[in-house]
Chains A and B, each alone.
Chain A
Amino acid sequence: MLVNIKINGHSYEFDVTKKDIVLNVLRNRLGLTGTKFGCGTGDCGACKILLDGEAVNSCTLPAWRCDGKEIVTIEGIGNVSNPHPIQEAFVEGGAIQCGFCTPGMIITAKALLDKNSNPTEEEIRESFKNNLCRCTGYVKIIDSVKKCSKES
């Protein structure tokens, strides 16, 4: 079936089957490899994208369900020559080690801060409940989000 999805500001038409998952469409058809495969079961958050502003896992999300919707991936948040303040805060705050969870973490942080520009520490921790990190202990991730909230 044909679906129309707006991704990072551009409109795309895809021919998809019921089984096609958004993560694979992004990675394999558009080369947007910033969104990572971590578990395939929606449990680790490495594949998070913004779907109409909500942070959702793309590894269990069928593409047909996104017809007419808008997706923003990590590439749509910012890039090396024009990074988003959250991306800069993660780098400067030491919130990144191996970096594999980072795109998903930044997507979650973006969704949170878009809705709540001054979240409490508890709200930040709660928002990351579906994002796993195995390197940082989340400490500097939380601090970096705090820093963004104060600056915004």
Chain B
Amino acid sequence: MENYSLEKEKIKRPNPITFKEKEKIDIVVSERKEDTIEPEYVGKREILADGLLKACGQLDYLDDMSFQDLLYGKILRSTIAHGKILSIDTEEASKVPGVKAIATWENTSPIRYNSLVRSIKDDFGMTEKIFDNVVRQYGDRVAAVAAETEEAAKEAIKKIRVEYEEYPGVYDPEEAYYSDIKIQPEGNRLPVTSREAGDVENAFREADDIIEYNLNTPMVHHLTLEPHVCVAKWDPGNELTVWAPQQGVFGVQINLCKIFELPYSKVRAIRTPLGGGFGVKVGIILEPICAELSRMAGRPVKIRLTREECMVSTWTRHSTKTYIRTALKEGEITGVDIRHFLNAGPHASNTASIPFAQVAKIYKLYNFENLKFTAIPVLTNTPLQGAMRGFGSPQIFAALDSAVENVAIKCGKEPLEFRKKYTAKSNDYNYLDPKDAVDDCTIDRCIEKGKEVFDWEGKKLLPKTEGKYIYGNGIGLGVHDNGIAPNEPDITGMTLSVYEDGSLCLSTGICDHGGGSYTILRQIIGEILLVPPQKISVETPDTKETPYDLGAYASRNTWVGGNCAIKVANQIKDKLLEYAKEYLECEYEDVIMLEDRFIDKNNKKEISRVDLISWVFFTKKEKIMVSDYFSSKKNAGSYGAHFARVRLDTETGEVKIIDYVACCDAGNPINPMLLEGQVEGGIQNGIGLALMEELLVDKRSGRVLNGNLKKYKIPIATDMPENLRVVFLNVYEKAGPFGAKSIGEAATVPVAHTVAHAISDALGGKEINKYPITPEMILLKLKS
């Protein structure tokens, strides 16, 4: 592994892989060779291609676009958390001037679906309907109206009379597991995942001590600044087109075809720029409702959710309850037993997939001799829960890393050094998910570098108190994967074509959520073909016009997209070299490609790039373009060791993070500026989880108590650490594009428990068993 380690300033460009070696491409796309030259574009702080448009307010998000004959839709939401609709009276609503369509469970598709399927063959539970005669959460959808104006739609919604038979609700996953209250006809229990490494029972039998640690994590909403919005147009030719800020257009097509029993050729999903995603813009939410309204009205329909609807009626990060028991023998951890309850909310969604993602990663971070992991996803009547940045990693690693921390404190060991006994090492065996190899594990190196940058030893010597303030230091570890290989097909397709002037057009189904995926793809292609990234345009993802992509989630864009970009760019390069060889009448190996021309290195004969492209067109009568796909075979871990120093106000319970260091391994950076941005945003997200964010559900009525920004607070500029430093290891990853790995999700995984550990340290080692850690909780801990 050391061979692949390089410092930032010494980044070398990998030797290009020729078309003739393409058989090997799927496995190792960018193996570094020694005889390389300095990179032109990869590794540079390239700015976002659409950055200036965004800065000037000139980038059109969906709500900024115009559609002819557009109608405006509004959704009626349930005021109860569980019950049967006995009747819906829409007569008064239909009389409101301008109303064109009203959709309820009685006149819409009754086909059950799962908003997050990736293939028609996916066997996730099909529990959702566009509208149902049972409501299962506060804010569930009951009916929708399309009208000439938003005001008319709002007025009509108010005039719909609904009679419910109210059912009791259940809001806690553990209670729901045993409850007689059935949320879905099939019951409340989703498939349990249970896996074991070693012999846990024996470890506990032989233990001389057992230490328990529990952690509850809250429902946290993604809070994309752009509210959910969708436009659907069902045209007379029975063709359905939907526009939405989507993280994955192909999933939309699959679901809409299922719900409306349409052939794939009749359903088209188009991505509009995303004003934030974080997992809440994957799958379908508004698409089928807009489609039904458009079918009924014969005109395009737009629905834009209110902020409260976004917070209550889309989905949240899974709230979890985790119980960890650790067996100890002579001061060493000999066994770990984890029971992990996941609250799914009222639908299957992709909750049962979270444990599969979690089992793949546990042994990439920690290698315990004996470990059992049981994940129990359960339906409840809370708001729906689903994918959010980290997909179960922030929750499970918060619990596991805190359990280790807790053992260290109880046994009087130094927590950082104690951890290192159990961290995974390169080429360890992944006992819980053997197909997903641990391969290169860099967590110890993240710890070492982070420790030095943070000055862990020095910080420990600083005074613990100062007037009303107390101080504490904490470390937290985490890992996240790159894509969904090797257990699942992880595929993206691309078409790359060369324009007459030498510039390029990339057609991809990958959705840039704003983090700069397209900028990275441009840098990669530009590097291989020596074309400035600004000269590469990227097509808007569209199921009809761009090749397939699974979706912008699971930290896939850089990893899978980057490798596919290398693959198609290398094929274009090979074509250019072949044509140049023919024109220059020389050997393939003798052609030198420069940004503006191709040269025969022996006799210095040359042709400009533009002239070569024209020669191919007029003389060869060919067009230079390629289409191909990349299927990821490997899943590397992106690691992080984070460090925090906090100051607690013993009078108010207020927490201030005064120093924060995130030491990450995201491979060899393609764009350090974007990489830093991802980590900084991930830290902000984790601070929200640790200190302030929780969607509160009334335990009796199931109502959401704080579904607005007056009551639900997210970190603002003054909540960020006073001194925040992000450092990278820059370890070259063999299977990554130009040695890179993803960071978007890994960035947020260690944050909440890092902050929690620092708070615990300030409190003299008191356990933190619940997020968010509010000032009230801190004051209580101080008193106890």
Answer whether residue B625 sits at the interface, using C-beta atoms and an 8 A cutoff.
Answer: no
Rounded to whole Å, the gap between the CB of B781 and the closest CB of chain A is 27
Once bound together, how far apart are the Cα atoms of A40 and B708, in whole Å?
Answer: 10
Is the CB of A65 closer than 8 A to any CB of chain B?
Answer: no
A37, A75, A96, A137: most-surrounded residue (chain B CB, <10 A): A137
A94 CB to nearest B CB, Å: 4
Q: Which residues of B contact A (CB under 8 A)?
A: 45, 47-48, 50-61, 63-64, 222-227, 273-278, 304, 306-307, 513-516, 673-674, 676-677, 680-685, 708-710, 714-718, 720, 724
Tell whether A92 is near chain B: CB-to-CB under 8 Å: yes
Q: Mark A122-152, 1 if CB is under 8 A from B, else 0.
A: 0011101101111111111110000000000
Asked whether, in the complex, the Cβ of B718 is within 8 Å of the Cβ of A129, the reply is yes
Q: CA separation between A78 and B54, bound complex, in Å?
A: 12
Residue A58 lies at the interface, judged by CB distance under 8 Å to chain B = no
- A140:B677 contact, CB within 8 angstroms: yes
A45 CB to closest chain B CB, in angstroms?
A: 9
Chain A residues within an 8 Å CB radius of B718? 125-126, 128-129
In the complex, the answer to whether A129 meets B716 with C-beta atoms within 8 Å is yes
Picked from A37, A41, A94, the residue with its CB within 8 Å of the CB of B710 is A41
The 10 closest A-B pairs by CB, nearest first: A34-B57, A98-B514, A99-B54, A100-B275, A137-B680, A43-B709, A74-B57, A33-B64, A137-B684, A91-B51
Main secondary structure of the interface of B (DSSP, over half): loop
CB distance from B198 to the nearest CB of A (A): 40
Report whether A132 and B225 are in contact in the complex, using a CB–CB cutoff of 8 Å: yes
A43 to B706, CA, bound (A): 14
Query: Which residues of A have CB within 8 Å of B683?
Result: 137
Tell which of B50, B676, B710, B717 touches A99, judged by Cβ atoms closer than 8 Å. B50
In the complex, which residue of chain B has the Cβ closest to the Cβ of A92? B47
Nearest to A98 among chain B residues (CB) is B514
Interface positions, chain A 50-82, Cβ under 8 Å from B, are 73-75, 77-80
In the complex, 6 of the A-B residue pairs with CB atoms within 8 angstroms, ordered by the A residue number, are A33-B57, A39-B709, A94-B676, A98-B226, A102-B54, A139-B724
A119 interface residue, CB < 8 Å from B? no
B515, B676, B708, B720: the one contacting A135 at CB < 8 Å is B515
Q: For residue B513, which residues in chain A have a CB less than 8 angstroms away from its CB?
A: 98
A residues with a Cβ closer than 8 A to B are: 27, 32-41, 43-44, 46, 73-75, 77-80, 83, 87-88, 90-92, 94, 96-103, 106, 124-126, 128-129, 131-142
Q: Which of A37, A94, A125 counts the most chain B CB atoms within 10 A?
A: A94
A99 and B677 contact, Cβ closer than 8 Å, known pairs A46-B225, A134-B276: no
A99 to B684, Cβ gap below 8 A?
A: no
Q: How far is the CB of A122 from chain B (nearest CB, A)?
A: 8
**Contact assessment for B225 and A133 in the assembled complex, using a CB-CB cutoff below 8 Å:** yes
Contact B714 A142 (CB under 8 A): no
Given contacts A92-B47, A97-B516, A99-B275, contact A136 B681 (CB under 8 A): yes
Given contacts A38-B307, A80-B58, contact A101 B225 (CB under 8 A): yes
Known: A99-B59, A99-B275. A40 touches B681 (CB 8 A): no
B50 cross-chain contacts in A, Cβ below 8 A: 99
Q: Which of A38, A73, A132, A140 contacts B714 (CB 8 A)?
A: A132
Contacts of B682 in A (CB 8 A): 137
- Chain B residues near A142 (CB, 8 Å)? 717
Give Cα distance in the complex from A38 to B48, angstroms: 22
A48 to B61, CA, bound (A): 17
Q: Are the CB atoms of A98 and B680 closer together than 8 Å?
A: no
Other-chain contact of A97, B307, B677, B685, B720 (Cβ < 8 Å): B677
Chain A residues closer than 8 Å to B709, beta-carbon distance? 39, 41, 43-44, 132
How far apart are B691's CB and chain A's nearest CB, in angstroms? Answer: 14
The answer to whether B55 and A90 have CB atoms under 8 Å apart is yes
Q: Assuming the A-B contacts A44-B709, A100-B275, A134-B681, are A34 and B56 also in contact, with contact meaning beta carbons closer than 8 angstroms in the complex? A: yes
Which residues of the other chain, B, contact A91 by a CB distance below 8 angstroms? 47-48, 51-52, 54-55
Report the minimal beta-carbon distance from B286 to chain A, rounded to whole angstroms.
16
Contacting pair B225 A44 (CB below 8 A): yes
Smallest Cβ distance from B43 to chain A, in angstroms?
15
Q: Contacts A94-B673, A136-B681 given; indicate if A37 touches B53 (C-beta within 8 A).
A: no
Contact yes or no, A138 B57, CB < 8 A: no
**A34 to chain B: which residues have CB within 8 Å?**
56-58
Distance from A78 Cβ to chain B, minimum over Cβ atoms (Å): 6
Alpha-carbon gap, A137 to B687, bound state (A): 10
Measured CB to CB, the closest approach of chain A to B223, in angstroms, equals: 5
Q: Are A94 and B53 neighbours in the complex by a CB distance under 8 Å?
A: no
- What is the CA–CA distance of A94 and B64 in the complex, to the nearest angstrom? 24
* Among candidates A41, A74, A126, residue contacting B56 with C-beta atoms closer than 8 Å: A74
- C-alpha spacing A40/B516, complex, angstroms: 28
A87 lies within 8 A of B60 (CB): no
In angstroms, how far is the closest chain A Cβ from the Cβ of B135?
25
Q: What chain A residues lie within 8 Å of B515 (beta carbons)?
A: 97-98, 135
Give the chain B neighbours of A141 by CB distance below 8 A: 717
Assess whether B52 is in contact with A73, with CB atoms less than 8 Å apart: no
B225 touches A40 (CB 8 A): no
